[in-house]
Structure 1
Amino acid sequence: MKKGILITSAIVMSVILVCSITLLLISQDPIKKAEKETIAIAKESAGLVKATDFYWYNRDKTYFSVSGVNESDEEIMVIVAKDGGATTVLNQDEFITEQQAKALTREDKGAVDILEARIGLDGETPIWEISYKQENGRLGYYVLTAKSGKWVSDIENI
């Protein structure tokens, strides 16, 4: 009797594990597809030869961005609108890095746990959106311009 229960439990656990892995892989597919398409657009429109980071930004509009190196061995950021594919290309000397954006957020917000950084556009302005966890456990979003690091907005206690 106990042997039957153990075998049944092992089978059920195996099925759950396989289903979980399948679900995880399926859920990652849209992200991988968006990254692949964004890199292809960046290669064509900005001469990207090596991609280093991919960002998915959602606010009023959705933007996919990729950072990397172009044919001239310069660091660039390419921001692509999901709808229409309009492309904005920034050279490294035109924007602050993800690490700088996170550092500015820590400097202003103090003891917060930085979760993620995303780059996108607010109208025509490139912005970094830094998500963070406050000391009270609630989420916040700190938005600053990507060109100067100047504060734009802060959404707290979500």
Structure 2
Amino acid sequence: MKKGILITLAVVMSFVLVCSITLLTISQEPIKKAEKETIIIAKEAAGLVTVSDFYWYNRDKTYFSVVGSNKDDEEIMVIVTKDGGATTILNQDEFITEQQAKELTREAKGSVDILEARIGLEGDIPIWEVSYKEENGRLGYYVLTAKSGKWVSDIENI
């Protein structure tokens, strides 16, 4: 009797594990597809050779971005509009990095837990949107220009 219960439990747990892995894989497909398409566009538009980071920014519009280097070994950021595929190519040397955006947020917000940063466009201005968790557990978004790191907006207590 105990052996039968253990076998049934093992089968049920295996089924739950397989379903969970399948669900995770399926949920990641849109991100992987967007990344592949963005890399193809960035290779064609900017001569991207290597990719180090991928970002998905979604506010008024959705942008997919890749950071990497071109054939001249220059660090570039390529921002692609989801609708229409318009591209903006930025020379990384002229803009702050993700790490710098996170540090500027930490300096401005104090003791918050930085979650992630995404690059996108607000109008024609490249921006970093840094998400963070406050001590009270609430979420926030700190937005700064990618060019200078100047504060643009802050959404708190979400």
Q: Deviations over 1:18-50 (max 9, x none)?
A: 000000011111101100100110000000000
Q: 1:13 aligned to 2:3?
A: no
Q: Which residue of 1 aligns with 2:43?
A: 43
Runs of 4+ in 1 over 4 A off after TM superposition: none
Q: Which residue of 2 aligns with 1:25?
A: 25
* TM-score, L = length of structure 2: 0.99
Q: Where in structure 2 are there 5+ consecutive unaligned residues? A: none
Question: How far has the Cα of 1:72 moved from its partner?
Answer: 0.9
* TM-score, L = length of structure 1: 0.99
| Alpha-carbon separation, structure 2, partners of 1:93 and 1:51 | 16
Percent of paired sites with the same residue: 84
Aligned-residue RMSD, C-alpha: 0.5
Q: Which residue of 2 aligns with 1:133?
A: 133
Q: Which residue of 2 aligns with 1:77?
A: 77
| Alpha-carbon separation, structure 2, partners of 1:151 and 1:113 | 18
Q: Which residue of 2 aligns with 1:148?
A: 148
Aligned length: 158
Q: Where in structure 1 are there 5+ consecutive unaligned residues? A: none
Q: Which residue type is aligned with residue 117 of structure 2?
A: A
Q: Which residue of 1 aligns with 2:87?
A: 87
Q: Which residue type is aligned with residue 70 of structure 1?
A: N
Question: How far has the Cα of 1:93 moved from its partner?
Answer: 2.1
| Alpha-carbon separation, structure 1, partners of 2:147 and 2:68 | 17
Question: How far has the Cα of 1:92 moved from its partner?
Answer: 1.4
Q: Which residue type is aligned with residue 45 of structure 1?
A: A
Alignment of 1:112-127 (within 5 A): 112-127=112-127
